[in-house]
């Protein structure tokens, strides 16, 4: 609640792994989640972790919560990049909880538009059919991914 971010739905994953390969696997699992992401982090790894999170999650909002429920409790709120720059100049001390906003509907919509900007509905259908998916299933997939009525995709598929 202190984070100021949406807490109606969240994903808690504990400590972020030390190894780059394991970090990337974790981020692949959580980067597209709409829920707020919550992690623990130690002070000696915080700056490196914020740099990594910035490269993967971009300009999302973050609350870096220090020493929760203790005498020196403190919360930094801003974007991941702002937090990274702040902690470069202010030595991290104490235990940290990172609360990161989930992927917004606007981000999801923009990514879908970008993904389908260079491929027509016909090409999308053909690619799916060539990969071994039935025409009927390809119509369902294209309809769902492009948020188009199934009957419109069906009309296009008939002409293939």
* Whether residue 117 has pLDDT greater than 80: no
* Average pLDDT value for residue range 49-72: 92
pLDDT of residue 82: 96
Listed range (14-23, 63-72, 106-115, 148-157) with the worst mean pLDDT: 106-115
What confidence category does residue 78 fall into, taking pLDDT thresholds of 50, 70 and 90?
A: very high
* Whether residue 148 has pLDDT greater than 90: no
pLDDT of residue 3: 86
Contact 54, 25 (CB under 8 A): no
Q: Is the pTM of this model over 0.75?
A: no
Side by side, the strands of the sheet bearing 96-100 are: 10-15, 36-41, 96-100, 61-66, 74-79
Listed range (62-76, 100-114, 121-135) with the worst mean pLDDT: 100-114
Residue 61 dihedral angles phi and psi, to the nearest 5°: -75, 150
**Mean pLDDT computed over every residue of the chain:** 90
């Amino acid at each position: 609640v202190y984070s100021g971010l949406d807490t109606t739905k969240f994903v808690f994953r504990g400590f972020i792994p030390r190894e780059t390969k394991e970090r990337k696997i974790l981020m692949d699992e959580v980067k597209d989640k709409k829920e707020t992401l919550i992690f623990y982090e130690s002070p000696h790894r915080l700056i490196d972790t914020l740099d990594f999170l910035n490269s993967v999650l971009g300009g999302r909002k973050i609350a870096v919560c220090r020493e929760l429920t203790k005498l020196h409790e403190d919360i930094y709120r801003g974007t991941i990049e702002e937090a990274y720059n702040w902690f470069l100049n202010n030595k991290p001390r104490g235990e940290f909880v990172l609360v990161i906003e989930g992927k917004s509907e606007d981000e999801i919509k923009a990514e879908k538009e970008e993904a389908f900007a260079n491929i027509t509905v016909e090409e999308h259908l053909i690619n799916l059919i060539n990969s071994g998916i039935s025409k009927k299933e390809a119509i369902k997939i294209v309809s769902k991914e492009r948020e188009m009525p199934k009957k419109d995709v069906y009309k296009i598929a008939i002409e293939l």
